[in-house]
Chain A
């Protein structure tokens, strides 16, 4: 079955601190892509970071980085130096190469406190 599990429905972090959002997925494929999308209250889906499964090096985008463990099928998102604007729903998703659909998790709501 193609599933994505985000076990933390809600997380909170203090401004300037670091927080890690967890994600595990299930696929029998070996070539796929992983994503984290952010959905602020406006509900627009914004790409945060992406990772190709064939790359061992973890992706980073400024304050956002991932810990990709392919054998464990784990893809966590680390947000460093959290800002108030990071408060949003975060969705983990993946797509198998040469297929078309993104499979999403149920999301983690992140609150950032001043």
Chain B
């Protein structure tokens, strides 16, 4: 069964450094998402992406964040200058398209900012 994959599984970085989290959505899916989950808290929506542009973003997704689909398979989340409070689990998800509503999640990347 096709799956969403994410790399790395765990990323440790110093405050102020840039990180790029990578995702490979399910191959025939058209809609892509990033969510984050701070330890012990609920999952929060960050951004959605369709047709090579952001379709919706939350107030969390400020200028420090960006997303990109650099080729036909990868979907990346970049944090330009990480803060301590960016430490969280980041989940990528994808959805097939019109008429389908289910988002399928990847296994997550645990980001630790020191």
Contact = CB atoms under 8 A, between A and B. Distances in A.
Interface of A: 33, 35, 37, 42-47, 50, 52, 91, 93, 95, 97, 99-107
Contact of A101 (B45, B89, B105, B108): B45
Interface string B71-97: 000000000000000000101010000
Nearest to A33: B101
Q: Which of B42, B44, B50 has the most CB of A within 10 A?
A: B42
A24 to B, nearest CB: 15
A48 B102 CA distance: 11
B95 to A, nearest CB: 8
29 contacts: A33-B101, A35-B102, A37-B105, A42-B107, A43-B108, A43-B110, A44-B105, A45-B91, A45-B93, A45-B105, A45-B108, A47-B102, A47-B104, A47-B105, A52-B101, A91-B42, A91-B43, A95-B103, A99-B56, A100-B55, A100-B56, A101-B33, A101-B45, A101-B58, A102-B33, A102-B93, A105-B42, A106-B42, A107-B42
A97 B58 contact: no
B19 to A, nearest CB: 18
Given A45-B91, A107-B42, A102 B107 contact: no
Give the interface SS of chain B, mostly helix, strand, loop or mixed: strand
B104 to A, nearest CB: 7
Contacts of A100: 31, 33, 48, 50, 55-56
A64 B105 CA distance: 20
B68 to A, nearest CB: 17
Nearest to A93: B43
A12 to B, nearest CB: 19
A45 B43 contact: yes
B41 interface: yes
Contacts of B33: 100-102
A78 B10 CA distance: 34
